[in-house]
Structure 1
Amino acid sequence: MDLTTFLIQCLNSVQYGLLLFLVASGLTLIFGIMGVINLAHGSFYMIGAYLAFSLSSLLGSLPLALLVGTLLAVAFGYLLEWVFFSYLYDREHLQQVLMTYGLILVFEELRSLLVGDDVHGVTVPDWLAGTIPIGNGMTYPVYRLFVSGLCLLLALGMYGLISKTRLGMMVRAGATNREMVQSLGINITLLYRVVFAVGVALAVFAGMIAAPMSSVYPGMGGQVLIICFVVVVIGGIGSIKGALVAALLIGFVDTFGKVLWQEGAGALVYVLMAAILLWRPAGLFKAG
């Protein structure tokens, strides 16, 4: 592997890891703070991809579609928590798994009825459709760099929100002891709805910005869900910092694994998870 190829694969690893972080950060917030095992989280990623396809076709602009889609995702997440997830907090984990799996089936059927089962593509805006030279006659897509930069900005924004603001303080406290937070007069119901809405919006946004880099197809949320649970377990349940570190680790292991050992690349991520859990059974970082 020459230096140019190595650099390109590093950029791919960072881009993939940051995209995983967007989805997994919402999952770790919902799981760590609300205690709900949400198997439907991958469906939000799929919904985002289909929103990018539908809204960009309707509005004629991917950036405008991202803005409208994110606002719709926040409203949808808030409504979904109020109507459905608010009744799951006191249920056993097995009931949560079964009920959220039922949501997957509902979302897939609605997707089939509304959009169909065809594979779709999303066009990259003209101002992001170019490439930049890397060296040795090789180039790298501008849109991938744009996605990496956007994900990095969101990661920094989430870190600031969780660690530096009053809302973040309440979120961290709620992850540690929700009864104590409620006894202090904090509206835990509203806090849960805001957290859930943000988690849904992050997954939807990740699906929207990923759509132009890949096809939009039925069931695309399933594989993302599995790898995001791996990110959450490695990073530590409820930890945003842990989700970022774990997502980047998985990005590098998966990308370079496919380049250097294609036959066994699929197992390397799970070997990494097993090794880290043997070292730190609770994950790399604590909640917060």
Structure 2
Amino acid sequence: MGRSEAGSAKYASKQLKASGLQKLKFYCQLCSKQCRDANGFKNHLNSPSHKGRVQQLSESGEGHSVIENYSRDFEKDFLKLLRINHGTKKINANKFYQEYILHDKDHVHMNSTRWSSLTSFIKYLGNKGLVRVESPPDDTDEFNLDIRLTDTSSEYYQKQQQYLKKQRSLKTDEQISMKLLNEQIKQGQKYQDSVKEAEPAAKPAETLNGPIKLSLSSKRTLPRKTKAQSAFDGSDSDEEDLQEPPKKTSNIQSISNRLLSNKR
């Protein structure tokens, strides 16, 4: 079967598939070649180029150290990216492994190391003390693990000690404030008890059995005005009491009085 011509649709499709990420189990780390399926990977293992590479390593005596070198490089790159992207924060192991794969297409693949799965690699890091492995409390799946980088540097150790010291001081301050608050509450209760003991017993209200008398007066007293100081001359003026105005005499009576006076 001939190869597709350059520039054709089939050639572009193959190039697009080759440029994307493929399955990791079909990748040959020794030859740095990605195969698209199991048949292609099998043909690559039987190819003269791959066999020649394996024979060359076995003759040079580097065949035993190849896996160890790949394992060391994989562990180093994995921890380096974990420190850069997340520091000491917690993250799911599978999620971070996807980040590691997408970070560099030509990274060291796990199938070329001495670890057969991601779970075995995470357990190795946890036993070595490089990461802290945690399992979600509500998940029973042992493959769903969370990891947190363990920083053993002196700077991180000092920050951790300062944080713990601050937490202890906050705890002691809270204890002191709670103690003072409880003492104030006790003193307030004692003061209330002493006030209740000092107060006499309340007398019962007396009931009136006799008749009730009410007095109503029709007289209305007008208030007397006080002496007011004049605002113009500064002298005091006595204001007269309010009195009823004088009654006006009728015109007929005044005329009769005049006539009587003239006759006399």
TM-score norm. by structure 2 comes to 0.21
Higher relative contact order by CA 8 Å / sep ≥ 6: 1 or 2?
1
**Of the two, which has the highest radius of gyration?**
2
Which one has the bigger strand percentage? 2
Which one has the bigger helix percentage? 1
TM-score norm. by structure 1 comes to 0.20
